[in-house]
Structures are given as C-alpha cells and as structure tokens.
Structure 1
C-alpha cells in the first residue's frame, strides 16, 4: 500500500541527495541478488554482509522468489510444471531442511541521511525464518519466524558512510515440511507452521519441493523524516439504499494511521490528508519520544461521492487519498498514498433461503463467485499477472473471488486489481479442515485432536492475522473475512480474531467462523456444506437444491489441445477412456499426475474421441455446457433457494487438469465463456429439465420494454421462431416466460436441435443472446456428428495497437457455423499470444448472419495473426488487415 502501491525507479545519483524537506521515497531491491546453500558457506552473517567481503561461487538469485525459483532460473532443476519433472526434484521432507536453507546477499547504494532523515528496510514476506545482517551488523535482535508477518527495521545507524551497503539474509525453511504422502496437505504436519498448506500436495497439485522457502515477497528501502506514517486506515460509510446513477447523498470518510516518532524528543506536527488533491482534514498532534501512536482524524463528509460497485452493478470509482505528517517546521516527514473506493458492505440473514445475504451500498447482490488458490504455486507474482487473472474473472461476469484458506493472504497488487475490476473478496485465513483436524484421516501423522491445535505457535498466528489485516483493510474490494477453510482456527486464535483483532483493526466486514459454517449457509440437507466437485448432469444444477450459499461447487476444466501441449509430452498425449461407472477410468500416467478428473460418460455423446486433440475439443463443449448450466441453475433460484454460489475453482496455480476457466499460462478455455454467458447480468435461459424459458435480471434496473425471441434451428440451418414475447421484469429477480418442453422435445427427435434465445431492446438491439445445442431423445448429439461444413467468411482488422476485431460471416442456406474458437497468435510461430482477452469466444453463427469477436492483448508483438477453428469450420490462419 506504500507510495502509490507501485514500484519506483530511483536514479542512483538521487540516493545521495536525501533531505528532510523531501517527501518520502521508496524503492525495491529486486535485482542483483546472489545466493548460496549453507553447505557452501562457512562465513557468518557479519562477515558476509561486509561490502568488502568476496563472494566466490555464488549464483544469481531471484528476489522476490523462492529457492526453487532460483534453482529453476539457474537450470539446476527441471520445470516442475511440465510432465513428470517434479518427481526429479528432491523433496525437503527427504533431504532435510538444510538442502533448501540459503544465504541471500544484495549490494545496494544508500547514503546516510542528513538532518533527521530515517531509512527503513522492509520485508513484505519471508518463508519461513530469517536472520538479517547489514554492513557487518545483525539487524533483527531475534530470528524472525512466520510466512505472514511483515518486517520493518530502522537501518539509519547501520548504513555505510560511503553509501556502499551489503545486505545478507539467511532463510530457513519452515520447521515442519510435512510428508507429501498423497493426502490433502500430505501428512498434515505442514499446518504446524504459520504458513500455507498446499505445498505438501493437494488433490489439485503435486508437492512444491522446497515448500516455497525464500524471500517470497518484496524487499524495499524507504526514506522518511523523523516521523514515519504507518498502516493508514480508511473507512467509508455510505448510509441508505443507493443506486449507481444520479447525484449521491453524502458519504462519510474516516481516516487514521500509526505515527512512529523515531527521535528521543516529543514531536509536534499536523496529520492531514487530501482527497483527489484537495485537503480534506487536518489535526495537530504531539508524539511521545520513541513511541508509536495511533491517531484517528475527525470524520469527513464527502459531498456527491462517486461510489464503488461490484462488477455488473455499477462503475468502480476510485479516489486518490494522500496522508501526510507535517512537522512544526512545515516539512513533510512522511506520506502515504491510498486509493479509496467509497462504498459500504452490509450483510443480513435471508430467512427464505436460510443463508447470509450480501449488500453493497444498501443494495443486495446475488453472489456469483469463484474460488482462488494463488496466482502461482511457486509464488512468482506480478502486478501484470494479477491484473490479467482478475480481469478474466470480470470477463466471466462474476462479482466475488474467495481466497481459499490453504494458501495465503493475497498480495496488495491482487486487491488493486479487484478494486479495478469490481470483484468482491472473501478472504480466508490460513487454516484448512484437511490438515487442521476436521476429519479423522488415516493419511495424517497425528490424531484429530492434536491437529485441531495446529499451528504450534498460536501467538505468532495471532500477530500475523493482525499484521495482514492492517495490510489489506483499505481495499474497497475486500468484503468478508473467514476463519478458515472448512474449520475454525483453535479457540484462542478464533477468539482473538473475533473479539480483538477485527473489531479494533477493521470493524467493517462480516466474519465467518469458517467457510461452510451455519452463519454463512444453513446446512439443512446434510453433508459438509459444499460440493459436489465433479462433472454433473445439468439436472443437478437446475433441479437439485443444494446449500443456499455454497462456498464450493465445481466441475471439470481440461483446456484445449494447445493448452495440453504446454505441459504434456507428445508421447503422453493419450486421451482418457471412460469404462463405465463400475470400472476404473483408463488414463495416461502424466494426465493422472496432473490431477485429471473424469468427464465420465459426457464425451461419448459427441462421438468417441479419436485422439487427444479430438478429446480436448469435445471437452470444450462439455466445459461450456457445464458452467453455463451451473450458473443458470443457481440464478434460476436466486432469493428463493440461494443468495450466492462460489465455483470450485476458477483458476490453477499449477498445470492441473481440473477446476479452471483458463490454464496456468493464462489461456482461457470454454469454461470461461460458458460462465461468461450464463452469468451475464441480464440473461435469457432455458431449463432443459422442465422446458421453462426464463429471464434472470441481476441488475438494479427494472425493464419493461424488452422482447424475448425463442427460436429453434435444425442441423441444416433451417430455423423456426417458436415465440416472441414482451418482457417486463423487476430488478434483481428471475421470471418465467414460457413453457416449451413439448415443442422443443419434438424438435430434438432424430438429430437434436439448436435453440437460440435473444432479448432485444426497444431499438431491436440485442442485449442477451444464448445459443444451446440440445441432444436427441437418446441423449446423443447425433446431428452434430453429421453436420455439413459451414463456409464461413472471416476478416480480421486492427482496431488499435493492441486490439483486433474478427468478423465471422455465415452465408445463408447453409448450416450453423458451430462453436468457433478464435485466438490471436504469433504470425511466424503460430503460438498463441498470452494473455489475450476476448469479448466472447466459442461462438456460433446462424446462417445469413455474422458475429464479431473483439480481442485485446497487452503485448508488444505487432506481427500477429488470427487462428480460427470450429466444430464444422476448418482450421485456418488469417492475417490482420
């Protein structure tokens, strides 16, 4: 959250020109690091951190990064995300911790400040323990422990007089690596640490061999005056029921911060802040010597505020707030920049559904969410990757991301992206029922009662929770806290969270004890309060009432062939075979290693897969249908059965073959676009079980002048308009408009049929279009298997430097051009440009019509082409005009 939340480039000459008259400065130490395993280092930290000490045989280190990332970047280990390579890397459980215990050294230039200037060394995340040395002196009096506890040290007195400094840090792995025995979190003992648990293996990932040991998050140098402004706290209050449009009634802004006086004297000055460049509030304060004081400024009434709304409901307006401490001599000692979204999150109990209901600015929000593990299993985070991944969630028409408890508190850059794209965040803390003793489990080393007491150091866990709350509490997107995944933390940790930490450090967000607790969703149906996780009949989503606010429900997610080629060797490109419900599935060893989850009998209705490419293409049809059906089924019963649903899961931090709308390499598959369709804010949909055509309105606007078109199309392209119905629908509701089961079942006989639903506004503009392919009366897609080729005409035009429009025109008197995948590729290599964002994909075009797909891609590559293929459209590459 420091300094505009970004990285600053610092010209070396300026490093020697510090003045207390300057505003605060900060830069990142992210290049030039070296490292060595402790077995190769005989010197101690005091010697290693001496700038004149010679380092021999050390290798370049990746910081931020883990030991395994550094080894990979130096080609010391193979890529653990490819094939079976992970099996070739020594596991810390078998080697012992010393194998992954490393020294990291960094030389940097920073002059001793003049006057009352102070210089700070900040570590945003180390896993697991560390001792820190600077210029021959130990920085931290005691060894630091804990993955989720930031470190800040005043290094002013330790800086070298000539400005040439050396930092040496030894990183020790977590004391309990855990046995990666195939269980969820291995043998469970990894949860004895205050760290993430997935690195010992889960049902969607193989073990991370070093358990992510390293300086895994940013290291920064920060300059301030005598007073350091720390952990600003901004609360926005938006009373009443608001709408996105029109002039808003006032909102209240509450701001506070911690002020650290580094001097031995009392300091007087003014704490003030500006909002969008205009001074809002100021207050004179006096700070005791060598003390940190929390100061709360008077409330500020913001007139005509621009409000922040979740995706699909309104814009994501943001304000720039700058908080300053100005000394009595009228110099800025320190400042903090915070982006503020003005909004208020409320929750209430919905007695009809029996579940928690979320509101923003007084308006109830039907939660359409995705579960998030982590951006990269080896913690290779970047602002650009976070932005792309959250943008994909925006493009799925979701409005919430849940951070699963076996991972971590996400990084500030993640929340920045969620603020930008309107994604509410449901933040679990780092406890999971699999390791922390919810169930008796023969894979676990210790008994259930013992595991319920994990982690070993409760005080460290409590301090870490408090610190992480301070780090993320200002983000508009952060909506909910949760004690843990499928279990509460130990009683004393839970009590500290509920009674002390969250009320005093935040106080504005609802806290769930655990992710499927009764406070979230009354579990009147038995079971664990979440799931199922495998492929489902569409009837399940539409007709089976599940948990009213489901924190985890999922399905399949294999990517297309281009995706599989990135991590499966050619010799292992063997499609899995479903052998019936009473026989085991046949699958290749690499597919199994990468956690393939069965598509069961759902591929064969399209025709048995001839090879891996054919399997992957047909899997996309299933993917699209599954996730469209999932969200449609929940939306059909919003406020009646459900207040929300959170899909397990929407992304993969590893090259797994389940639960993903896009692959690890940021290549979307049909899951994303099925969800994009089924989750659109205003949506016409067909219940394949009872034949009801409905409209879901997930907006705050009522509509009274729409027209619903219901049209069937046969395999030869002949269409029939079944109904044209005027539509009136209230805000945030679902309404039934036609019962057409008999009519549509008659059309399905023999070969199956296509069904198109369109909503048109008063100007005949399409506001929703939904295209179904329905099987014949035996449940097979016999007509699709016999479709004639469509002679599609395709053009690709550059709309901007990083934007292309692709238009597909399907001539009249032919079949539907069905299920077309568009991709932007390198013109020479034909490899896809990643990431790329499509306003729609896997599109079908009716005879005599055309459809345009808009592509944007943040790439410097201008020599691009367009790849296109479809069910009955030949694969082709087109140049961009």
Structure 2
C-alpha cells in the first residue's frame, strides 16, 4: 500500500511540474475576407462579439491564393494555362489581395502563467489584434521575421478570444514581364523573388501574400526559454561506428522575464543521462542569455552525412524550474558532429569535412517544397527522402526563395542531407548583369532591398531559428552575387560569429572559394543536355554550385497537368535544328531534348516521347555524377545539380514531378551516385571504380559482360580488385572488346562488383549505340520474356521480383509502379529501392516498394519495360 501511494504521489508531481509548459498550433477554423469588403477597424473585428457575416474559410498556414483556390474562386494555377486566367496583383493593385484573417480560440491564463502568441511567418506586412486590442506598436514587415507577443493581459476572462490579422502584400509587387524575377523590383522587399516569375515558373499572382507559416500559442510560467543554442565540438578525425573520444556540448539559451519582479530559478538540460544546470536570476522586463557549463559527452554516437555513416540523434530536454516547478521546456534533437571547410590546393576550391573526414559533395539545388507555400511534414519527408534515395548528400536552398522551415531541416537531419542555406538575393534581380527586362539599372538594383536593417534583423532571427540542426553545413550570402556590402559585412563579421560561428560562410554561390577555375574565372553550368563524354572530359568549376539538364516525366506525369488537346510530343527538325513545341509545354517552361530523342527513333506521340525521354534522363544524370566522381579531389570537391525538384508543374530540372512521382533522372543519379560504384567512361572506354566511403574496400570481384540484342552474353573479364577510401581508380580499358560488338546495332555493357558472398555491391548496365550513334538495336529489340511476382513483406512494403528465363532477350528498363486497381492511377508517393531496372537472361532482380497504405485500397503493381507492354500484378499477402 505504501508503494502504491508513493507511485501515485510521484506521478502527480510529474504532472504538476510540467503543467505550465504547453504549446499548440492555431491551424484550422480560420476565416477571411478581402479588405475591400470589410471597412471596420481591427479593434472592432477582433472583438469576440463581432459578427463574421460573408466571411469565408481560410487556409492558415497559407496564402490568399491558396484560400481562394480552396474556396473555388480561382482555377488550379498548376494545371494547363489556368495561371494566365488569375488576376495578377501588378494589374489589380495591392488592395485586391489584402485580406483580414480571423481565428477564435479558447484560452485563459491561470495564476503564475504567461501566454504567448507566435507567428512564424507573414508575407509581407501585418497588424495583429486580439480581443479589441492592437498587439504590435508599429506595422510589422518582412517575410522572414518572426513575431512573438505576450498576450496574457489581453486574454478574455471568459476564455473566449478572437485573433484578427490584416495582411498586406509586398511593398513592391513587381511587374511579371517575363524576366527572372519579372522586372526585378520584387527584390526591393525582404522576401522571396521567384513569385514574379522565373525560367522555371510562371508568376504567383498574389506574390504569396498571407499568414504563410505556423501560428502557435505557448503557455509558460514566469520565465520563457527562447532561442536555445547547442554547439557540438568533435575534435580530430573520426571513423563511423568506432569507439569515439569525447565530444564537447556547449549550450546557451535566452531567458525572458516579462513580469515586474526578478525571477530566480535553475536552467538545466538532460542529454544521454547527463544533467547540466545553472542557477540564475532574471531581472524584470528583460531577456538574459545564459551559458551553461560545457558537457564532455563520452563515446558519442556521431551524426554523418548520407552514405558515410549513421544519422544518430540525441534528445535534449531543456527546462527552467522554480522551486521544483517547471516554468518552460524546450525539446531539441541534437546531432553530434562538427563541420569543417578548408582549402584544397589541387582543385583550388574549398572542401567540406565532417568529423574530420572530407566529404565529396553530391548535391541538388532546392527551390522550395511548394511554390504556393503549402508545406507539410509529410511532403518534406518525401522530398528529402527522394534525395537520400538519389545517394546525394547535400541540398542547396537557392537564394531567390526562403529560409527553409524547421520541418525541412528535421527531415534532412533524419536522412543525412547536408544543407547550404542561401540568404535572399540573386544576380538576376540584384544587379549582377545588364538586363533590359529590369525596371532599374544595375546601380539601383545593387542597393536592393530598400530596408537593409530589416534584412539584417530578419537574418539574425532566421539564424536563431535553424542553427541547431546538424544538417545545416554552409551559409551563403546570395545566389550568384554578393549581398550589398553594408549587409554582407555585418552578417559575415558580426552576426554569424555571434549567433553561430560554427559553419562556413561563402559570400555568394559561385564565388572564388567554390568555383575558381584553374583555367581562369569562376561560374557555374553548363545547363541543358550534354554529350555524355563531356561530363568526363570537360573540366568545369571545381565546386560547381549549378550544373543542370532536363527532367520531363513519362506520360503518367504529363497527363496530370496537360490538357488532352496539348498532349503533343515536341517534334525535332534536323533541318532547322529546333523543336516544335506545344504552347502549354512552353508555358510550363519546357527545356529542349532537341535531337537527343532521335537515336531511339522519332517519337510517335507524347507517350512514346515520355518513354524515350526516360532513357535520356537516366543517361544524363548517371554520366553527370560519374564524370564528376571520376575527378574527385583532382578537378572537383563537389557538384550541385541545377536542379533536383520543382515546386510547380515545370518541365525541366526535376528528379520527380510536383506530384511526387519519380522519373528516370532519380534512378540515374541513384546509380551514378552510389557510395561504391563501378562505371564506364564513354570518352576513353575504360572501366573505373569510385569509392565514396571512408573504408578501404577489399576482395571485390569485377565482372564485365557484353550482351547483344538477342540476349547472348559474353564475359569480357573477371578480376579481383580493391580500392582505397575516398578514391577513384581506373581498372581496365575495354575499347577493343566492345568496338566490334556494338558496331552493327549497339550492345549492352554490364559492370558488376561482387563481394565474397557473390552478392552485387554495384550493378551498372549501359546501352551503347551503334557505329552511327543510333540505338538501332533497341528500336528492333525482341520482346521481353520476363515474368513478375509481388508480395507484401510488411505493412506498407511490397517486394516485386522480375525473373528473366535463360536464352531470352535482356528485359530492359522496366518501370515499376504501385497502382490503384480501379482508376489505374499511380499511388503517390512510393519509394523504391531501385527502378527502371534491367534483368539479364537467366537472372532475377527484386525491388522493394514502400508506401502509406490507404483504408479500403488494395493496390496492384504495374510493370512496363522498354521491350514489354504494361502488365498489372496482384500482390500476394504475407
């Protein structure tokens, strides 16, 4: 009986000590109205008794345009030419997209409690009212500046409250005249620039005006913990998985006392069974930054980038307590790692190291998850996971967009994706080049934005918001141009050292630090389809921040946003060397495949075009990463693809479409970027191995086979090899063997690395053209005889096996999908451990699909190959 009483007392105490610390989001049940239909002041509108007649449901977080779309007031701007039919703010005037947003909620403060209202992002300006009172003393401006208000005294005694926010569009909305960022004046604001249009997107008509990020209520005791900061120091050169020497954990936090009397208590945190604390007193109406004693963490589990080691994360719980009662709590996930950037004298560029080991950067440029700012944890997770599946290890957040959200960084922490975070500027809008599309000359544009102090205040705030994430590796001043000197100098020399001080700051995305070419000059590119040999032979920038190509999906992808009348394949003319392209394709920023489809046979329709485009896609991105990897630490320290995703239904630069349906670009990168990879150099016909791990790889059997179009296999060589860590090694030249075999109709070249268990650790298949450069053999290839079976192996996991009988043609380039059996539409997103797979005669391959099951839906598997018609396979239950 005594033990039971003790247990009940202990549980009750736990509940009591945590009762003051609460946080929740005001997400649903918002209402809105355009300011043109509501002339009452905010003090009246925010009174709980004021009737909200004719108000509409609002999307918060969201924008005016997402709300209008939800209320069916505008067509979906991502489909067809719909965006052209939505009024643009440049023509309507700003009042058209100026809106009131209102949210009723229940809350009251108990004795000893403080209640806080947080707005994490409003674009562009706003006034905030609660229960008839205005909360902000002056107009709040800036897309990237968070707001916090202590609302304790303004809460209704009944507990029924009304929050009202009037949101104004950017001060300067810009003319969307077809230039990069339109006429450039959108950059006069401290906000994103792509909303006036870019070469990958049409203009966002409301310029994303709205309460675009989360609104939360927080309840604390008398002290509020703000902006905790965790720094991890990992000295020396570390090895993944080994017993580690200690790491140092340094923690600070801001403590705010809004009351009239001093508050004494203990700031403490716990991490991996360790407790660190400090007794402090916070004076009235003040904020105090507190530095806690350093913690020496024994044998830490380290965080590593994708492909190099595990992404271990620790839970850190920070609390401020007074007399044993918790006033506030902050929970932080900590990745113990240290980022270094040093000069590579061979490449003449910076190189990135993590925990003392240099990492060859294989990255993608990221614009934004959704062009209309419709963010979700699930979408962030899917998109970042796709980049993990591409075997990439870095994402660069392009400077014409925004500071990415904490939920994005959480996904990058989870999947081991380093992040290069640009601040808000671009060479296009901010004056690097002469541009007749711009309203102002370069001298004027060089001074953008109009309010430099707002830029610096916003930058400091955003640094505090994301600095704890281990994935954040690099700060970048701007895209292809430095920030104005009176912004860049304090940002680089004062703000970042004071608020972070642990990461490399590169002054702009293709600065000399990243991209100085030994042959002279700096830059990025090239863009568009390249001959495959160029990726191997042409020496580009040593840390190339942008090099890009195509990315059209197959017909399933295209049909999601192209009207039926516009599903017309681009037609290439050898005489004019140009493509004839449908107007809707052009509106969606199609980038040309030109003559590169022709070697596979002229496309007969859109479906055929999409099918052949996938072969080009796979080849382009595999060769890109192979060519850069072949010269790592010699020519290059890294490469960042322009770009790997689209936040709009654009027809360029994407490994998966806006609807999260992957195309062959993703799996070309998945192959070409794998940590241990065997590859064929089309420029010198040599076979090489790249080892992008920290381990020496021994006892690998290299098997090289040549296969003709009928499926006859000829082994060219079989030899044991080894390769050192972070190294590329040329193994053998096979020019003599393949020249005659490929001459007539092309051939397949199979490269494999097998371990001592005879299991493939790298499996790479190339399709080589005939002597004329055409794939004549593929065009007349015999039908596949492969069969497919599928079975459930766990909830949300399906295993598909393709078997190809002996003495059969190679089963080439099979695209797997999970399909709704009723609509025949693909289920999205689905994650595949491989796709666009080929199976040699007498062999089989297995692919695992992972998806989120839907109640009442039993999917089927679609298998469609280059030489096989689509078939639908029933999934056997476990």
TM-score by length of 2: 0.97
1:446 equivalenced with 2:440 (yes/no): yes
In structure 1, the residue matched to 2:293 is 298
For the 8 Å contact 1:19–1:117, the answer to whether it is kept is no
Query: What secondary structure is seen at the aligned counterpart in 2 of 1:578?
Result: strand
1:321 equivalenced with 2:316 (yes/no): yes
- Report matched runs for 1:245-256 at 5 Å: 245-256=241-252
- 2: distance between equivalents of 1:102 and 1:81? 23
1:94 equivalenced with 2:91 (yes/no): yes
1:764 equivalenced with 2:758 (yes/no): yes
For the 8 Å contact 1:433–1:439, the answer to whether it is kept is yes
From 858, 861, 873, the counterpart of 1:866: 861
Query: What secondary structure is seen at the aligned counterpart in 2 of 1:875?
Result: strand
1:668 equivalenced with 2:665 (yes/no): no
Please give the per-residue CA displacement for 1:16-67, whole angstroms capped at 9, x wherever unaligned. xx98862410000000000000010021100100101101101000000000
In structure 2, the residue matched to 1:473 is 467
From 193, 197, 206, the counterpart of 1:197: 193
From 550, 560, 563, the counterpart of 2:554: 560
Deviation at 1:342, TM superposition (A): 0.3
- Report matched runs for 1:577-616 at 5 Å: 577-580=571-574, 582-616=576-610
- Report matched runs for 1:742-821 at 5 Å: 742-821=736-815
Query: What secondary structure is seen at the aligned counterpart in 2 of 1:273?
Result: strand
Please give the per-residue CA displacement for 1:457-516, whole angstroms capped at 9, x wherever unaligned. 000000000000000000000000000000011111101111111000000000000000
From 508, 513, 532, the counterpart of 1:514: 508
In structure 2, the residue matched to 1:222 is 218
- 2: distance between equivalents of 1:735 and 1:366? 15
Query: What secondary structure is seen at the aligned counterpart in 1 of 2:317?
Result: strand
1:67 equivalenced with 2:64 (yes/no): yes
- 2: distance between equivalents of 1:246 and 1:524? 38
Deviation at 1:825, TM superposition (A): 0.9
Please give the per-residue CA displacement for 1:226-262, whole angstroms capped at 9, x wherever unaligned. 1000000000000010000221110000000000011
For the 8 Å contact 1:819–1:844, the answer to whether it is kept is yes
Query: What secondary structure is seen at the aligned counterpart in 2 of 1:631?
Result: helix
- 2: distance between equivalents of 1:466 and 1:605? 53
Query: What secondary structure is seen at the aligned counterpart in 2 of 1:519?
Result: helix
In structure 2, the residue matched to 1:854 is 848
For the 8 Å contact 1:833–1:859, the answer to whether it is kept is no
- 1: distance between equivalents of 2:662 and 2:562? 17
Superposed CA RMSD in Å reads 1.1
- 2: distance between equivalents of 1:151 and 1:741? 65
Deviation at 1:874, TM superposition (A): 1.4
Deviation at 1:279, TM superposition (A): 4.0
- Report matched runs for 1:359-370 at 5 Å: 359-370=353-364
- The 3 A distance-change label for structure 1 pair 64 and 417 is same
For the 8 Å contact 1:225–1:332, the answer to whether it is kept is yes
Deviation at 1:763, TM superposition (A): 1.6
From 41, 44, 50, the counterpart of 2:41: 44
In structure 1, the residue matched to 2:168 is 172
From 256, 277, 283, the counterpart of 1:282: 277
1:576 equivalenced with 2:573 (yes/no): no
Deviation at 1:192, TM superposition (A): 0.1
1:78 equivalenced with 2:72 (yes/no): no
1:208 equivalenced with 2:204 (yes/no): yes
How many residue pairs get aligned? The number is 861
Unaligned 5+ runs, structure 1: 1-17
1:704 equivalenced with 2:714 (yes/no): no
Query: What secondary structure is seen at the aligned counterpart in 1 of 2:252?
Result: strand
- Report matched runs for 1:17-56 at 5 Å: 22-56=19-53
In structure 2, the residue matched to 1:13 is none
Query: What secondary structure is seen at the aligned counterpart in 2 of 1:675?
Result: helix
Query: What secondary structure is seen at the aligned counterpart in 1 of 2:513?
Result: coil
For the 8 Å contact 1:359–1:365, the answer to whether it is kept is yes
- The 3 A distance-change label for structure 1 pair 167 and 19 is farther
- 2: distance between equivalents of 1:582 and 1:324? 70
For the 8 Å contact 1:716–1:815, the answer to whether it is kept is yes
Please give the per-residue CA displacement for 1:442-466, whole angstroms capped at 9, x wherever unaligned. 0000000100100000000000000
From 411, 428, 444, the counterpart of 2:405: 411
Query: What secondary structure is seen at the aligned counterpart in 2 of 1:78?
Result: coil
- 2: distance between equivalents of 1:382 and 1:714? 48
Please give the per-residue CA displacement for 1:379-421, whole angstroms capped at 9, x wherever unaligned. 0000000000000000000000000000000000000000000
- 2: distance between equivalents of 1:291 and 1:652? 44
In structure 2, the residue matched to 1:310 is 305
1:263 equivalenced with 2:233 (yes/no): no
In structure 2, the residue matched to 1:126 is 122
In structure 2, the residue matched to 1:393 is 387
760-769 or 69-78, which deviates more: 760-769
In structure 2, the residue matched to 1:430 is 424
Deviation at 1:859, TM superposition (A): 3.2
In structure 2, the residue matched to 1:231 is 227
For the 8 Å contact 2:255–2:288, the answer to whether it is kept is yes
Please give the per-residue CA displacement for 1:699-758, whole angstroms capped at 9, x wherever unaligned. 011012111001100000001110112111100000010011121112111000000000
- 1: distance between equivalents of 2:872 and 2:337? 47
For the 8 Å contact 2:692–2:727, the answer to whether it is kept is yes
- 2: distance between equivalents of 1:836 and 1:346? 35
Please give the per-residue CA displacement for 1:734-785, whole angstroms capped at 9, x wherever unaligned. 0010011121112111000000000011121111000000000110000001
1:737 equivalenced with 2:731 (yes/no): yes
Deviation at 1:585, TM superposition (A): 2.3
For the 8 Å contact 1:130–1:144, the answer to whether it is kept is yes
Deviation at 1:584, TM superposition (A): 3.8
- The 3 A distance-change label for structure 1 pair 19 and 37 is farther
In structure 2, the residue matched to 1:875 is 870
For the 8 Å contact 2:515–2:524, the answer to whether it is kept is no
1:461 equivalenced with 2:458 (yes/no): no
Deviation at 1:130, TM superposition (A): 0.3
Deviation at 1:208, TM superposition (A): 0.3
Deviation at 1:288, TM superposition (A): 1.2
In structure 1, the residue matched to 2:148 is 152
- 1: distance between equivalents of 2:867 and 2:582? 29
- 2: distance between equivalents of 1:707 and 1:42? 77
Please give the per-residue CA displacement for 1:75-104, whole angstroms capped at 9, x wherever unaligned. 000000000000000000011100000000
Query: What secondary structure is seen at the aligned counterpart in 1 of 2:626?
Result: helix
- 1: distance between equivalents of 2:522 and 2:165? 44
Deviation at 1:812, TM superposition (A): 1.0
1:371 equivalenced with 2:368 (yes/no): no
For the 8 Å contact 1:272–1:279, the answer to whether it is kept is no
- 1: distance between equivalents of 2:838 and 2:59? 46
From 614, 628, 643, the counterpart of 1:634: 628
In structure 1, the residue matched to 2:541 is 547
- 2: distance between equivalents of 1:641 and 1:88? 49
Deviation at 1:115, TM superposition (A): 2.1
For the 8 Å contact 2:191–2:424, the answer to whether it is kept is yes
Deviation at 1:521, TM superposition (A): 2.4
- 2: distance between equivalents of 1:324 and 1:388? 33
In structure 2, the residue matched to 1:12 is none
Deviation at 1:523, TM superposition (A): 3.1
For the 8 Å contact 1:242–1:361, the answer to whether it is kept is yes
- 1: distance between equivalents of 2:53 and 2:575? 61
For the 8 Å contact 1:27–1:221, the answer to whether it is kept is yes
In structure 1, the residue matched to 2:4 is none
